[in-house]
Chains A and B, each alone.
Chain A
């Protein structure tokens, strides 16, 4: 059962061959037996899950089941879950039990899905390797058979690893600079970051408010479509939520791809790209040509400024968002504060990890008097240039394709000595967040036995087109079905 997709599990439940209680029990037992090696879960909600499973079976008996009723999944530990610990991977929130549900949480609840727990992540979503979590690093299921502890990617490393290890068929995730697409690529699964504003951010612990977006992770494009049907939609509680109708993302999965115009940005295929990665990506693009798509070279002239712009904007916004963590209303509080300033400065020094503090300091610097124009304002202007590049490219083509990562999963500890080395992991993913367009990572091959992904970037609100393209690719390839040893 644990090798089945959400779509398959839904059919199994519908046929009555298995109950949600049995299915949930099977996944919970798997997590108990296997997760020690991966550390992909921070909290496993065994009692809640069994109760939800029982309620789902009752709904089904009453003839009220929908496609998600009784299907197990997990939430990245960045989505507030009422009455269940929500830590954002941080000591600052290790004791935080939200008194409310995020909209994403409420939506899955209403759909009858069964949440098995909260997945591990880089602290406050800042990272590309899931090595900065207060709850310990996540280990990628790929590479373990060779005795190598490789990173799953980040920040949604727990969700990605749990799915790759078949501990859960699907999990929610978030992407601010690549945090869905990069771990999806490194773990050989399928992930989608929707258009900014497509999924509500209410109850999703904020990192960088103009970049954060909740999204989907599962093994197949079809499952991602099923997830997005639940997650997408206007939410009056999120002032940046897009007021736009949500299509049924599964309805157009089988549209033929003949005539699809693909653009390959030349800046993403420079001589910096490793020949092996280039070969994998171009092979994947060839499959699209066989399906009837046309391919041409396009240009994103300001792509090389994306990392610099991001590492001003994201830390600046993070410094504002994380100023709420002060030991007063919730979360960690230092012991024996001597005065109010001591309460603030020691709570934050002790509660935040190194990467988070670095980014808060950089962000504060970039926003401070004397530096605001040179850094933040400048970055915002470059951001508009980057956005314009995408708008121009989409006048000529329907989707863009590129690598997701420079290389497959690296070994834990390999990139932690210099923050900038880690930041360069995001070179292919980050411009997408600055522009706010949707993008997916789809399993596209292997290098030295480790998975690599193909990035598909779409125009604003064209998630249906991306999912269609990914689904058609998955009908003629089987990369997404490969299992780690």
Chain B
């Protein structure tokens, strides 16, 4: 199973991971091998089989709409790379 260079570049954009030119051949090879492994699935007969998303077929638990957590922004932002006035700083988005 081969994966095209085009697909790899598209997926890298979706995954927000920068790829250098020299990484592409090895990725074509490695990802191709993985997808060949995965292709075995196509032989399986799964007509009328429900997908299994959770081993215990559990559903999301709900709780009462009451405030139970405390504001710990300072503790959480203490480990951030760049903050100001309780906001996270990133490079300018809009000129």
Contact = CB atoms under 8 A, between A and B. Distances in A.
A437 B56 CA distance: 10
B46 A240 contact: no
Given A96-B79, A196-B56, A197-B56, A346 B18 contact: yes
A156 to B, nearest CB: 20
Interface of B: 3, 7-8, 10-12, 14-19, 27, 30-31, 33-42, 44, 46, 49-56, 58, 60-61, 63, 72, 75-82, 88, 90-93
Contact of B55 (A196, A236, A344): A196
A239 B38 contact: no
Given A236-B63, A339-B93, A348-B17, A436 B41 contact: no
Given A344-B16, A365-B11, A384 B40 contact: no
Contacts of A357: 17
Contacts of B8: 361
A436 B12 contact: no
Contact of B54 (A97, A240, A308, A330): A240
Contacts of A423: 34, 37
Given A348-B16, A349-B18, A435-B55, A308 B37 contact: yes
B80 A380 contact: no
Contacts of B15: 319, 323, 348, 360-361, 364
A377 B51 contact: yes
Interface in A226-252: 236, 239-240, 242
A345 interface: yes
Given A383-B51, A420-B37, A364 B56 contact: no
A362 interface: yes
Contacts of A97: 79
A375 B35 CA distance: 10
Contacts, number: 166
Contacts of B63: 236
Which of A242, A305, A330, A381: most chain B CB closer than 10 A? A381
A281 interface: no
Q: Is the interface of B mostly helix, strand, loop or mixed?
A: loop
Contacts of B77: 329
Nearest to A344: B16
B91 A419 contact: no
A28 B39 CA distance: 49
9 contacts: A311-B37, A326-B16, A340-B93, A345-B18, A361-B12, A361-B31, A364-B14, A365-B3, A420-B37
B58 A305 contact: no
A305 B82 CA distance: 46
B41 A379 contact: yes
**Is the contact region of chain A dominated by helix, strand, or loop, or is it mixed?**
helix
B44 A382 contact: yes
Given A340-B90, A361-B11, A381 B52 contact: yes
Contacts of A274: none
A368 interface: yes
A349 B54 contact: no
Nearest to B62: A239
Interface residues of A, number: 69
Contacts of B11: 361, 364-365, 368
A225 to B, nearest CB: 23
Interface string A383-421: 111010000000000000000000000000000001110
A401 B81 CA distance: 49
A419 to B, nearest CB: 5
Contacts of B91: 337-340, 342-343
A374 interface: yes
A25 interface: no
Given A358-B30, A385-B44, A239 B93 contact: no
Nearest to B17: A348
A267 to B, nearest CB: 14
Contacts of B35: 362, 365
Contacts of A305: 40-41, 44
B11 to A, nearest CB: 5
Contact of A420 (B33, B78, B92): B33
B75 A378 contact: no
Contacts of A364: 11, 14-15
B88 to A, nearest CB: 5
A345 B93 CA distance: 15
Nearest to A82: B75
Given A99-B72, A361-B31, A380 B51 contact: yes
A378 B46 contact: yes
Given A329-B80, A341-B16, A348-B16, A210 B55 contact: yes
Nearest to A433: B55
Contact of B58 (A197, A326, A337, A341): A197
B51 A210 contact: no
Could you say which of B37, B53, B63 has the most chain A C-beta atoms within 10 Å of its C-beta?
Answer: B37
A423 to B, nearest CB: 7
Given A210-B53, A333-B81, 17 more contacts: A99-B72, A240-B56, A305-B40, A308-B37, A312-B41, A330-B79, A340-B93, A345-B17, A352-B17, A358-B27, A361-B17, A379-B41, A381-B49, A382-B46, A385-B44, A419-B30, A437-B55
